[in-house]
Structure 1
Amino acid sequence: MKIALVCSAGMSTSMLVQKMREAAAAQGLEAHIDAYAQADLKNHMEDVDVILVGPQVRYLKGQIAKKAEPYNTPVEVIDQMAYGTMNGEKVLAQAVALTK
């Protein structure tokens, strides 16, 4: 499974990516998780199974969802509490649930 986290510059989500990778490894789940700046996401649309948008840029969800529509890629805003506490396990679970 390939998961993309999106924020305005790709920086604030990078810590969460690491926490999610640790959670995936602990669960034995094969997941490729990367953070992208919103402007760079278009270069990766064909490669991802789910897109999670940082809560601070939730206003981008509609725009990203429209671009992801041809690929049938689900797009959702990351749970704000999980994001704020850098709860990689909870955000990973959110991503997994979107792929089912």
Structure 2
Amino acid sequence: MKILLVCAGGMSTSILMQKMEKYWKEQGIELNIKAVGLGEYTEVFEEYDIVMVGPQVSYRLKEVKEKTGKPCETIGSFEYAIGDCPKIMALAESLYSQVNEEG
């Protein structure tokens, strides 16, 4: 699974990204993940299966969906804040299932 995380600047999401990488590895699932800011996602989204948006930029979700055409959803504020990897993983898997349906 290839996940692109989009946030305001890529900094706080980098912390979450590291937690996610560790959790996925513990689950025995291969994960390719990158955190970028709003100004960068249009340059790299084609390399990823799904796009997950940080809650601080959820107001741009519609735009991100339209520009990427990828399954895309906002990570809940609470899950994001505490790094709730099981819930974030469930959201990612739900989005990823849309990739298989579409393609």
Structure-2-length-normalised TM-score: 0.89
Counterpart of 2:80 in structure 1: which amino acid? Y
Provide the aligned C-alpha RMSD in A. Answer: 1.0
1:92 and 2:89 correspond: yes
After the TM superposition, which residues 7-46 of structure 1 pair with which residues of structure 2 at under 5 Å, given as runs? 7-46=7-46
Indicate if the aligned counterparts of 2:6 and 2:53 stay in contact, CA closer than 8 A.
Answer: yes
**Is residue 51–residue 72 contact of structure 2 (8 Å, CA) maintained in 1?**
yes
Q: 2: CA distance between counterparts of 1:28 and 1:46?
A: 25
Which residue of 1 is the match for residue 75 of structure 2?
78
Unpaired runs of 5+ residues, structure 2, are: 98-103
> How many residues are aligned here?
97
Structure 1 match to 2:61: 61
Conserved in 1, the CA contact under 8 Å of 2:4 and 2:45? no
Runs of 4+ in 1 over 6 A off after TM superposition: none
Tell which has more relative contact order, 1 or 2 (C-alpha 8 A, sep 6+): 1
* Cα deviation 1:46-78 (Å, max 9, x = unaligned): 111110111111111011001112xxx101000
Structure 1 unaligned runs (5+)?
none
> What is the one-letter code of the residue matched to 2:65?
A
Distance 2:18 2:38 in 1: 19
Contact 1:17 1:88 in 2 (8 A): no
